[in-house]
Amino acid sequence: MGDGAAGVAGSAPFDRVHVTCGVTTVRQVWVRQTRPGGVIAFPWAPGFGDGHKVRLTVTGDGRAVGGFEGGASYMMLRSQRSTGLGGPDDGGTRESRTWLDPRTITGDSYGADVAIAGMLPDVLGAERTVGGRQALVLADASRTSWARCGYEPGASDFPVVQSGPRRLFDEVADAYLTWVGWGSPGRRRFGFTVGPEGQHLWRESPDNPIARGDRRS
């Protein structure tokens, strides 16, 4: 009995670690307590989009590397639950319109969401019903900025409202179009690495990490 987030040092090393709650950040202690060649399986729940099943193999140098095995939806680890999609109402909203259908960003494939989460790890995003209509709702983890893009049936462009120092919809749209420029790769074309320096996503190879700088300028 105890807090699984801390592992079980007295019983390590383990051949397998199976995490049965959603996590945004993988605990380093799970890597340290798994023997080289051992496997860590967990539901990864980034702030943007849906959850994913991830399977990592521990390499023996303090790292674990692997990929995506499908979708997952689990209750979050208590210490990693987000504050939600709310944001400050500072009265400084900016309104515009976009040709990019918000449903395309969230529903195009399980690939765009992984790429966006890798490029914008501090952005939360999901579909919501606002005023009786579907909308992509965004917020940053620090709760300083928020954005909303609503779907209007039959429209050729869509309303965008953004508030705070960041233009979150613009950032997400740019990340989505970067993914399109990569050839719209599916979820299995991406991978996941955890190490002493933290965690990151990659495309095609661990030597090709996804970073903020990948987004189009």
Short-list 174, 33, 43, CA closest to 116: 174
Q: Does domain 4-80+189-214 fall into CATH 1.10.10.10?
A: no
* Parallel, antiparallel or unpaired: strands 64-72 and 190-195: antiparallel
Q: What percentage of residues in the chain have a pLDDT greater than 70?
A: 92
Residue 82 phi/psi, 5-degree rounding, is -80, 170
The mean-pLDDT minimum among 33-47, 64-78, 79-93, 148-162 falls in 79-93
- Cis amide leading into 13 (omega within 30): yes
- What is residue 144's three-state secondary structure? coil
- Please state the domain extents for the chain: 4-80+189-214, 94-181
Pair 89, 164: CB distance under 8 Å: no
- What is residue 200's three-state secondary structure? strand
How high is the pLDDT of residue 86?
65
Q: Mean pLDDT over all residues of the chain?
A: 90
Give the model confidence (pLDDT) of 138-161 as tens digits: 999 888 999 999 998 888 999 999
Give the model confidence (pLDDT) of 80-135 as tens digits: 887 776 655 555 789 999 999 998 998 766 899 999 999 999 999 988 888 788 89
What secondary structure letter does DSSP report for 204? S
Q: Under CATH, which architecture does the 94-181 domain have?
A: 2-Layer Sandwich (3.30)
pLDDT at 214 over 90: no
Angle at CA 13, nearest 5°, toward 9 and 19? 75
Tokens found for residue 149:
């893009």
How high is the pLDDT of residue 192?
97
Q: How far apart are CA 215 and CA 176, in angstroms?
A: 9
